[in-house]
Structure 1
Amino acid sequence: MTLLSVTGVSRRFGDVTALDDVSLDIVQGEFFALLGPSGCGKTTLLRVLAGFERPDTGTVTLDGADLLALPAHRRPVNLMFQSYALFPHMTVEKNIAYGLHREGLPKDEIRARVAGVLATIGLPGAAKRRPNQLSGGQRQRVALARAIVKRPRLLLLDEPLSALDKKVRAEMQLELKRLQHEVGITFVVVTHDQEEAMSLADRIAVFSEGRVEQVDAPVSLYRRPRTRFVADFVGANNLFDGVLRDGGVEVPGVGSGPLPCEPPGDLPAGSPVVLSVRPENVRFDDEGPLAGTVMDTSFFGGVSRVAVEVGGLTRPVELTVPGTAPADPGKPVRLSWNPDRAILIGPA
């Protein structure tokens, strides 16, 4: 069931268009990510949902009711800030209870809710501590507890893990997902971190220059990008600009014949296209259509990333191989891939 519906929302700041006719539907209980580079409009949309910005055009409904008609403090929406914004002079329990006191709830109910949410985030013994006595991950949990204790219909998270180091961030990604399922609140998270979005979200909306490029589940987004921007932004990729021919994609300047791909169902021969091949789908092949020279190899524990310079291409072709690289820099190699692992994006 659709909980939040954003239809035709635009927001301009002078000559800058932050949001350009954005439409999205978010389902009840979903973990939804807004992903894109800095300045793409994702945080502006979050501020519109929270009530801190007013769109120039468009509508936003929550459960069918006009969300834009409500002031920020009356919306059944809570926002967890990137900086956590905890009160340093208050204890953990008072930080969490602050919003409930402002609502005038009975003290017994406040105590019960705070105790319950502290147990949920795994910090039942931290009630009397102050924020400066907590680790970064613990402060993040307290900020999340303060956001969910009011039981909003929709929780907005603005780059919630950006202040954490890599190891703690990975742990908190799992924690966020667990908490979201446990409390049953719809989460909308803003991030520029692809791995974070892919690991957390049920669906992702990829933004570019104020517009939504694609909305999809993480696996579909990775395997079937619909635009060049999505193919280039989400994960590592090899992109070949060319023209569709009967035998594959002909790339100007690469005189090795058409590059392999599955026959398209809706694109005629002669169409300009982008051929997308993920590094893990490229392999060394003595009979392969691409000839090049190994430029560099990088070892990442279980796998190695190899960069191959191919004449006629402005960017090296990347491939991922298990273990250590079988070829040293300077060695001539040939490359290929299975046609069904190459994605056609058209027109270019």
Structure 2
Amino acid sequence: MIEIKGVSHRFGGIKALDDVSLDIGEGEFCALLGPSGCGKTTLLRILAGFETPDAGTVTLDGEDLLRVPPHRRPVNLMFQSFAIFPHMSVERNVAYGLERERLPRREIRERVDAALATVGLPTYARRRPHQLSGGQRQRVALARAIVKRPRLLLLDEPLSALDKQVRVKMQLELKRLQNEVGITFLVVTHDQEEAMSLADRIAVMNAGRIEQTDAPVELYERPRTAFVAGFVGANNLFPGPDGITAVRPERIRIGDGGGDGDGGGEGVRLTGTVVDVSFHGGTSHLAVRVPALDRPVLVAVQGPSRVVSGERVSLAWPPEAAVRIPAGIPVGPIEGEEP
């Protein structure tokens, strides 16, 4: 549905986007994931019509989207701050865009009622924003975004202002909402867990470029660059003469310092000393100092750890757990915050 080709954009001497290309399918939930300053919000603003790229094209169903003024694009942007009007009731906030289009009152009422029902706020129509919780205010912003029935809904860090418990609940709500209303979603986030739980595909951005676009499982298990391997989830990166070997902490088996690891005869790969153990409810995280490596090896085990700090251990993993990433030119982050 959306085709982005060779898009580049500068802010003064900073190259915010560098030859970015991305396709987004009809009804897809796509995420732009990356650190601050990587260019993801700039790309979102170009789609919304708030920025014009220096080079490249953006098409919607084959038509040039860049020629369409922002208010005429079938695109809606939900801001990180929600940006709902404090002096208006919930229903007036949701109806505002439809009223600006001068739609018949009956149609506005029907669409507002349907949108509030979709986000679970049908009984909150007369309340003001200050009478709502953070999660409820976010739902109002979502209702206002979907009531205009955009082809593409852009969400800029939509859950960052919420506490963890509400954020997890709203992640499920967003996915349910997207499936129910059938709108194409593009979400910008620096939260890996959020992107992995929400998106059908994730585009990982760094220094104004897209380093890899894949489904969440493929992205996690088969990173193609050192940046993706290190940014998406915890990882152990072992340098070698021809590149880097990446091994996820949960794939490493731990045993005593004198024998094989406990993972079914995989053989000892490394031996080291446990320098830290932390319990995270369902799993324990261990850091193991290994000679000749400049940082500890991270290991994740189910439940409480059987080993303690200071203990000598062996580490092993199956060959299929190791991902080889060819040597390449490292790409560093852009200085400063994202425009």
**Does the pair score TM above 0.5?**
yes
Q: Which residue does the alignment assign to 1:324? A: 304
Q: Which residue does the alignment assign to 2:264? A: none
Per-residue deviation, 1:84 = 0.3
Aligned with 2:111: secondary structure? helix
Distance 1:208 1:219 in 2: 20
Q: Which residue does the alignment assign to 1:38? A: 36
Q: Which residue does the alignment assign to 1:281? A: 251
Q: Which residue does the alignment assign to 1:337? A: 317
Distance 2:192 2:274 in 1: 28
Deviation track 1:40-75 (CA, whole Å, cap 9, x = no partner) reads 000000000000000000000001110000111111
Distance 1:142 1:222 in 2: 33
Residue 140 of structure 1 pairs with residue 138 of structure 2: yes
Q: Which residue does the alignment assign to 2:336? A: none
Which has the higher relative contact order, 1 or 2, with Cα contacts under 8 A spaced 6 or more apart?
2
Specify every segment of 5 or more residues in structure 1 that has no aligned partner in the other structure, as ranges: 244-271
Runs of 4 or more off by more than 2 Å in structure 1? none
- What code does the residue aligned with 2:219 have? L
Distance 1:46 1:315 in 2: 36
Distance 1:219 1:114 in 2: 37
- What code does the residue aligned with 2:243 have? V
- TM (norm. structure 1) is 0.91
Distance 2:71 2:26 in 1: 21
Deviation track 1:177-235 (CA, whole Å, cap 9, x = no partner) reads 00000000000000000000000000000000000000000000000000000000000
Distance 2:161 2:65 in 1: 31
Distance 1:238 1:19 in 2: 29
Q: Which residue does the alignment assign to 2:101? A: 103
Residue 295 of structure 1 pairs with residue 275 of structure 2: yes
Residue 9 of structure 1 pairs with residue 4 of structure 2: no
Aligned with 1:54: secondary structure? coil
Per-residue deviation, 1:13 = 1.0
- What code does the residue aligned with 1:47 have? R
Aligned with 2:66: secondary structure? coil
Deviation track 1:225-246 (CA, whole Å, cap 9, x = no partner) reads 0000000000000000003xxx
Distance 2:234 2:327 in 1: 21
Residues 1-348 of structure 1 correspond to what in structure 2 (within 5 A)?
Answer: 3-243=1-241, 272-285=242-255, 286-287=259-260, 288-348=268-328
The answer to whether the 8 A contact 2:235-2:247 is kept is yes
Per-residue deviation, 1:341 = 0.8
Deviation track 1:63-112 (CA, whole Å, cap 9, x = no partner) reads 11100001111111000000000000000000000000000100000000
Specify every segment of 5 or more residues in structure 2 that has no aligned partner in the other structure, as ranges: 261-267, 329-339
Per-residue deviation, 1:340 = 0.6
Q: Which residue does the alignment assign to 1:249? A: none
Deviation track 1:147-181 (CA, whole Å, cap 9, x = no partner) reads 00000000000000000000000000000000000
Distance 1:230 1:289 in 2: 24
- The size of the alignment, in residue pairs, is 318
- TM (norm. structure 2) is 0.93
Aligned with 1:68: secondary structure? helix
- What code does the residue aligned with 2:245 have? L
Distance 1:289 1:101 in 2: 67
Distance 1:198 1:315 in 2: 27
- What code does the residue aligned with 2:312 have? P
The answer to whether the 8 A contact 2:6-2:57 is kept is yes
Per-residue deviation, 1:324 = 1.1
CA-based RMSD? 0.6
The answer to whether the 8 A contact 2:269-2:317 is kept is no
